[in-house]
């Protein structure tokens, strides 16, 4: 699978099927800058996955980190349905990420997988470490714009102790966008 930032390949590691996410060189960037960007993003994503896992989020386990690649466990499942139960779980999952000080950066149904009733988060490539309300609101807004109805998602997110501040900030961001 090829994305804008990386290529994800199936591989074998320690006798088990895994995924290898490789950040490829960008020919349009200055070589030294490109190297620093790829290495920094790779290290950051590995740290985000590790901290998310420690925070109780179901996400890939990191087995190896190279300068521009991560070997991680495969997550099975399918994209979640936009029903109340699965969107509420998505809200709870985002609450766990935010409680751990993690912003996903691209929190949409396409970066979630459901398997046997459990919701998994994937692709932390645009993520960061932050406890800023604005960043948390951006994560919420990304999901709310990607789904038809956000009621169940918001209900699940309310498990986050600072949820009301974040929800208020979502409204402020939406209002700023309306009057541009």
Strand pairing partners for 73?
18
List 34, 106, 123, 138, catalytic entry:
106
Q: What are phi and psi of 58, to 5 degrees?
A: -80, 115
DSSP state string for the chain: -B-SS-EEEEEEETTEEEEEEE----TTS-HHHHHHHHHHHHHHHHHHHHHHHHTT---PPEEEE-SSEEEEE----BPPPSSHHHHHHHHHHHHHHHHTTEE-SS-SGGGEEEETTEEEE---TT-EE---HHHHHHHHHHHHHHSS--HHHHHHHTTSTTHHHHHHHHHHHHHHHHT-
Is 139 designated active site? no
**In this structure, what token pair is assigned to residue 115?**
């398997």
Catalytic residue list: 106
């Amino acid at each position: 699978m090829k994305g804008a930032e990386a290529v994800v390949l199936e591989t074998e590691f320690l006798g088990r099927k895994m995924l290898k996410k490789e950040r490829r060189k960008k020919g349009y960037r200055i070589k030294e800058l490109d190297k620093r960007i790829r290495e920094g993003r790779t290290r950051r994503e590995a740290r985000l996955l590790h901290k998310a896992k420690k925070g109780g989020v179901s996400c890939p386990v990191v087995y190896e980190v190279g300068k521009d690649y991560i070997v991680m466990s495969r997550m099975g499942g399918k994209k979640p349905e936009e029903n109340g139960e699965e969107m509420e779980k998505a809200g709870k999952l985002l609450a766990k990420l935010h409680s751990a000080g993690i912003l996903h950066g691209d929190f949409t149904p396409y970066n979630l997988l459901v398997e046997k009733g459990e919701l998994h988060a994937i692709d932390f490539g645009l993520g960061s470490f932050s406890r800023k309300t604005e960043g948390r609101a951006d994560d919420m807004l990304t999901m709310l714009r990607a789904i038809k109805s956000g009621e169940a998602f918001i209900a699940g997110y309310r498990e986050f102790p600072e949820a009301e501040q974040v929800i208020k900030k979502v409204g402020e961001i939406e209002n700023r966008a309306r009057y541009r």
